[in-house]
Amino acid sequence: MKAIICISVLFFATLALAAEDYCYKDVVEACKTTTKKSVTALNCTAKYGAIDNLQSKLQRYVNHHFIRSFEYLLMATHFANYEKNREGFEKLFRGFSDNKWHEAIELIKYITKRGGEMNFNELSEGIRDEDKEEQDFELLELSSVAKALDIEKKLALEAFQIHEDASRKMNGFHDPEVSSHIEHEFVHKQRDIVRKLAGYTTDLSELLNGPDASLSLYLFDEYLQKQ
Amino acid sequence: MKLICVAILFVSAIGLTSAELQCSQKELKIPKGWIDMVNPCVESMRNQIEEELKASMRYMAMGAYFSQDTINRPGFAEMFFKSASEEREHAIKLIHYLLMRGELTNNVSKLIKRNLIPSTTSWANGVSALKDALELETSVTKKIRKVIQKCEDNEKFNDYHLVDYLTGEFLEEQYKGQREIAGQISTLEKLMEKHGALGEWLFDKKLQGAE
């Protein structure tokens, strides 16, 4: 029995050791004059921590940003036609579209920083289901802000989900670098956007309950232009 | 008891209707004579918006590929990410043009579909990606020319202004861009002839410096 434990301890010890410096070992091997040099076979990637297990959710998050970016672009487009003529609302949604776009690019760069790769096919079931229904992005002022609030909350909760996965202490999932990145680059910004949009719905629903909704919307649009 | 229930329901229904927000506004009667764009010109412009976005996502895939640690070509990656954003800007320019001409008052929700996923996601090396980029630009140029043809050779309406805009702004950028990529391919291929890895590495550093 003792012998078995001893052997297995030794076995795992050597395995752990090998895991620590396998890049160096590969390089030593590759640099030997007798063996055939093969650069691609080197185990020298940027991967460490739990990136392999978190990667697919990060890829999804990128794709969801792209989809939302295009949706916001359509919402902005609608407000910019001559009938709607709401420059402020156009600016609001165009800004969201631009932000989602740039955040998606930055997140691709981040995934590759951690030794991962991008997969443009990764989508959540929820997003796939959305596609089955007819989508409407030609919305009234209040409805558009309401839709944006829902979208932003979904994205915020998705960030929580990635954070939760990265915070699980079990092997292969604990990755404080990922959770910290999510916090700094997404979670706090999303808090502010959600709060802003919730405030807009409060204002708009009160204003539209007044005697002159048209004038209210005109003034609110003017206000949005200056934001 | 039943009566009370009905009464409560009735009252609450009134309450609901009186609290209804005035979200929509009355239909407007704006003269439409000034809106003079015709089909198939409008339709081809609308399609071109998605074409530009598709090109954008193809550049995005190139950016993602060259960002990887095992490829490590940050100069290439940055260039392709930049191109991706430029293609998106083209789409937005087309949208703004149509809006200026009084278009896009309906069917906007279907303007961009969700089928923009890039098909190719890896390349043998920098040269092959640049060649792909050149072919992509060539195909975009051809498509813009087709839009121009549709908007010009129309018996009902020759859209001089749009044709001028597409020729002066879009084709101008296309041809200059194509020349630039072709030049890059030439330089890189010559560099790599005898110094494969070193050539590409140097070229990448040069691209990084170009930012």
Q: What is the CATH number of the domain that holds B187?
A: 1.20.1260.10
CA atoms within 13 A on the CB side of A54: 34
Among the partner residues B23, B53, B114, nearest to A143 by beta-carbon distance: B23
**What gap in Å lies between CA B124 and CA A40, rounded to an integer?**
13
The string of pLDDT tens digits covering residues A114-160 is 999 999 999 999 999 988 888 899 999 999 999 999 999 999 999 99
pLDDT band at A73 (very low <50, low <70, confident <90, very high): very high
Indicate whether B17 belongs to any domain.
Answer: no
Domain ranges of chain A: 2-41, 51-225
Among the partner residues A83, A101, A120, nearest to B118 by beta-carbon distance: A120
pLDDT band at B156 (very low <50, low <70, confident <90, very high): confident
Among the partner residues B28, B81, B108, nearest to A74 by beta-carbon distance: B108
Picking from B108, B110, B116 by the largest number of A CB atoms within 10 A of its own CB, the best residue to mutate is B108
| Chain B CB within 8 Å of residue A106 CB | no
The range of the structural domain enclosing residue B84 comes to 38-209
What is the fold, at CATH topology level, of the domain defined by A51-225? Ferritin (1.20.1260)
- Long-range Cβ contacts of A110-113 (<8 Å, 24+ apart): A110/A58, A110/A181, A110/A185, A111/A51, A111/A55, A111/A58, A111/A59, A111/A62, A112/B64, A112/B67, A112/B68, A112/B69, A113/A46, A113/B69
The string of pLDDT tens digits covering residues A86-114 is 999 999 999 999 999 999 999 999 999 99
Q: Do A213 and B25 touch (CB under 8 A)?
A: yes
Instruction: Give me chain A's average pLDDT, please.
Output: 89
Q: Do A108 and B104 touch (CB under 8 A)?
A: no
> Residues 137-166, chain A: which have Cβ within 8 Å of B?
137-138, 140-143
> What is the predicted ipTM?
0.89
| Chain B CB within 8 Å of residue A213 CB | yes
**What gap in Å lies between CA A139 and CA A7, rounded to an integer?**
69
Indicate whether B7 belongs to any domain.
Answer: no
Look at chain B and report how many structural domains it folds into: 1
Percent of chain B residues topping a pLDDT of 90:
79
Q: What is the pLDDT of residue A34?
A: 66
Indicate whether B200 belongs to any domain.
Answer: yes
Q: Which residues of B touch A143 (CB under 8 A)?
A: 23
Q: Which residues of A touch B114 (CB under 8 A)?
A: 67, 70, 131
Whether A190 shows a pLDDT value over 80: the answer reads yes
Contact A44, A27 (CB under 8 A): yes
Indicate whether B30 belongs to any domain.
Answer: no
